Structure 1
Amino acid sequence: MNQLFHACAFSAILMTVGCTAWSSDSSLTVPFPIGKIGATVTAKFLVRERQTYAFSIRYEYKENDQVDRARVWNLAGGSIQESHGKWVEPGAPLKIQLNVSQQVDGGERLVTEKIVERPRLSSWGAANLDAELIAVTLAPGNYVVTAVSLDEAPSFIGARTSLFIGRAYRGK
């Protein structure tokens, strides 16, 4: 019963963030506490330019703190050396459902829906690690994204995690 209450309580928690304008180099970061089943985040945003956007889980750590970075790297399932010359990428023990819809004519049109299990790190910076969930090309318009944590992940309780949306870089 207590677990059901927590699931319902976290399902009811809905964070909405609006972004008034996006140019080609804009991004949006919304806190997403993924440790509990049913944790949900929703964000509305405006796309001004057609391009491919990445929707990622962002794991934050203290800048220039190698101990905190190593802790978050392990939590996020970053690559580890299994034996000499053999590396594995376990990914994070998460299951995330992501829906992206375009707002049209007073309603919504589903653009994509995906369940991602064990997201793997795709990029990192001075104070964060990112695990791309999906990349999707969006035309100009108003959109809404909803991400839901589908499994319990107690090791993530208290971790600084967020949903990051930004231009998907694919190299040259």
Structure 2
Amino acid sequence: MKGIEKLTHLTTEQREKLIHSANQYKRLARIYIEVLDVENKEVTIKIFQLENKAEKYLPGKDLKQRAQEVFEGCMPEGWEINLIAVPYKFLDQITLESIREKQKELGLTDTNMARLLNIRKENMSRIMNGKRGLTQWQKSAFYYLFKWLEKEHGKKDA
């Protein structure tokens, strides 16, 4: 757990409990917990999730609940915990560069992708040449196209 050294009041047992819990969340769900700041009986903690194989993502409310559970019994009486939850947003991962990488990995041409996404070739060309930005809809379409193609590709390899 990044920043745990800022919690100088912890007993060895509490420190070990926090580290163990954080490692379990990291290992099983790619949920990371960081202690950002400790000041005037206030602790600021960030909890966030990264992409994981199970594709199970928690909303901010659930991430905060998990952090509360992890730190339960580890804060002195009267201390306040400020939680910053950052849920995973898969569309933020879709960029022109990531599309080009997946395109190359899957052996697709711009024409193939245009046909699969029902986008006119001219519009696909503008997108791939960076002349037209990616809308949320387009990012979503590319994301699910690549997920589908990866599953189909996996079936053929099996």
Scaled to the shorter chain, the TM-score interval is under 0.3
Q: Which has the higher relative contact order, 1 or 2, with Cα contacts under 8 A spaced 6 or more apart?
A: 1
Report which of the two has the higher share of strand. Answer: 1
Point out the structure with max Rg over C-alpha. 2
Report which of the two has the higher share of helix. Answer: 2
